[in-house]
Amino acid sequence: MLQINNLHATVADKPILKGLSLTINAGEVHAIMGPNGAGKSTLAYVLGGRPGYEVTAGSASLNGVDILSLDPHERAAAGLFLGFQYPVEIPGVSGVQFLREALNAQRKAHGLPPLSGGDFLKLAREKAALLGMDMDMLKRPVNVGFSGGEKKRAEMVQMGILNPSLAILDETDSGLDIDALRVVGDGINAIMRAPDKGVLLITHYQRLLDYVRPDFVHVLADGRITRSGGPELALELEREGYAEVAA
Amino acid sequence: MTALPTHRAEDWRYSDLDALGALWPLPEPENIIVPAGAHFDRSIVQDGGGVTQIHLSLGTGAAAHLRILNIGGGYGRVEVHATLHSGADFQLDCAQIGDGTQNLECVTHVTHAEPDATSRQTIRNVAGGAASVTYLGQVSVARDAQRTNSAQNVRAMLLSRHASVNAKPELEIFADDVQCAHGCAIGELDGAALFYLAARGIDPATARQMLLEAFLTEALGGDAALSTAAIAKLGQMA
């Protein structure tokens, strides 16, 4: 599903990713862990196409499509969902308007007719309920005045509505209390645990992995994956620390 | 005024004087007197260019709400002079959207002549291309106009390096018991917001339009016709 090969990327001319390779097959959940500054968020942004993140070598394809040659909105339509570590507040744009616009833009890219207002609200209500989110919050301006946990919950509602084939979730667990962590974890499982979907979880900590059990765990250090293993690797990291395991 | 102004005159400093020369002499300003206790309400779409001058006088306890959308013509200027008597309430919402080589101006003189009047101005300017978009707003508070409450909220969005925005909220206060607030900010579209919208599948032109519509909303005074015209103008610019 996702094939990353020897990816090199720079931010402001500084090399951050230095030959990263990773394959995610359909139906798999992968977790990438690593110390601060290893390049975890850079990987997410590079795959999402954020301006300022320059790919200098290597390739990345999603379902056979070279995503690095696409604009960010085209990557979304190709099935990529980027969950933000810090979801952006957009005053004046309601969540409902934003999501309907987004969903219909993606449907248009696939040659599908736009979803009517009624059908969209029905879908939004269903996905919001899945994450225990009040519809009224979705009608408010995007993320404005939301707590850290509410923002992450809203991200997952967006993911449910947009129904991507691959979700890259950048520290979705940061800012969540224990209860919210469980809700978000359950949401990820409900939305993304499917034979035709894949998930890349980027996280510092083991705790999200208690709820969303990864099939593979990778250690990212100095711009490369230095170790890969099963779920037990996350526990080992938690026990021993990155310095020991990643070296 | 009989002689064509020059750029030395503060009110005309950023004006397109060639275009103004072709319009000179200007017709008499429109005089509107809002009697004591009455309410006046008007929406103006300036979409053909030219100079619109309005002189408003608000009687005791009168209220006026003016909404202006300044979008059209090579040179479009809307000038509002408002004099507020005791307890009057004046609200001005003005959105200006310029592109190409447009020169758009909103110039206001609000005079709090007597006590207890309130005025609130909300200005949103968008400048793309090589456009020049200007707001000059003067609020004068007379010596006896105690307990005046006045606010000017001015924000501008620059969409290109060749566009310019001039914003000058100005206060002249001779009373000592007043509340006058003015804020002015000029910025660009938020790159983080644009990427966020793109990451959800929204193309750049639509994303820009959504953010600009949101930016202008406060200055459209809830007027559906103005909103429609503003959205159409933004759409032409995309």
pTM score of the predicted model: 0.92
Q: Do A92 and B203 touch (CB under 8 A)?
A: no
The A-side interface with B (CB below 8 A) comprises 48-51, 71-73, 75-77, 81-82, 84, 87-88, 90-93, 97-99, 101-103, 105-106, 109, 141, 158, 162
pLDDT at A146: 93
Residue B16 inside a domain? The answer is yes
CB contact at 8 A, A49 and A81: no
Mean pLDDT of A178-205: 93
**What is the predicted pLDDT for the residue at A176?**
87
Statement: residue A247 has pLDDT above 80: no
The residue type of A16 is I
Chain A residues lying within 8 Å of B203, measured CB to CB = 71, 73, 105
Query: Contact A51/B195, CB-based, under 8 Å?
Result: yes
- Please tell me the CATH code under which domain A2-245 is placed: 3.40.50.300
| B160-172 CB burial, b ≥16 within 10 A, e <16 | eeebbbbbbbeee
In total, how many domains does chain B have? Answer: 1
Q: What per-residue confidence (pLDDT) applies to A243?
A: 79
The residue among A73, A89, A159 with the most chain B CBs within 10 A of its CB, best to mutate, is: A73
Report whether A39 contacts A15 (CB < 8 A): no
Quickly state the pLDDT bin for B44 (edges 50, 70, 90).
very high
Provide CB contacts within 8 A for B24, sequence distance 6+.
Answer: B4
Nearest CA in chain A to B218: A92
Residue B5: inside a domain, yes or no? no
In a domain, B224, yes or no: no
Cβ contact B217–A50 (<8 Å) = no
The answer to whether residue A240 scores a pLDDT higher than 90 is no
Q: What is the C-alpha to C-alpha distance for residues A73 and A95, in angstroms, rounded to an integer?
A: 18
- Closest alpha carbon within chain B to A87: B196
User: Which pLDDT score, from 0 to 100, does residue B1 have?
Assistant: 59
Question: For residue range A104-147, what is the model confidence (pLDDT) as tens digits?
Answer: 999 999 999 999 999 999 999 999 999 989 999 999 999 999 99
- ipTM higher than the 0.90 cut: yes
pLDDT at B167: 96
Q: For residue B209, give the chain A residue with the closest CA.
A: A93
pLDDT of residue A179: 87
Chain B, 186 to 225: residues with Cβ < 8 Å from chain A are: 190-193, 195-204, 206-207, 210-211, 213-215, 217-218
Domain that holds residue B183: 10-189
Residue B203 lies in a domain: no
> Which band of pLDDT confidence, cut at 50, 70 and 90, is reported for residue A239?
confident
Q: Which residues pair with A218 in a beta bridge?
A: A32, A228
Model pLDDT for residues A68-118, shown as the tens digit of each residue: 999 999 999 999 999 999 999 999 999 999 999 999 999 999 999 999 999
User: Cβ–Cβ of B200/A102 closer than 8 Å?
Assistant: yes
Which tokens belong to B141?
Answer: 């508070």
Residue of B nearest to A46 (CA): B199
How do the domains of chain A map onto residue ranges? 2-245
The whole-number average pLDDT for the span A50-57 is 96
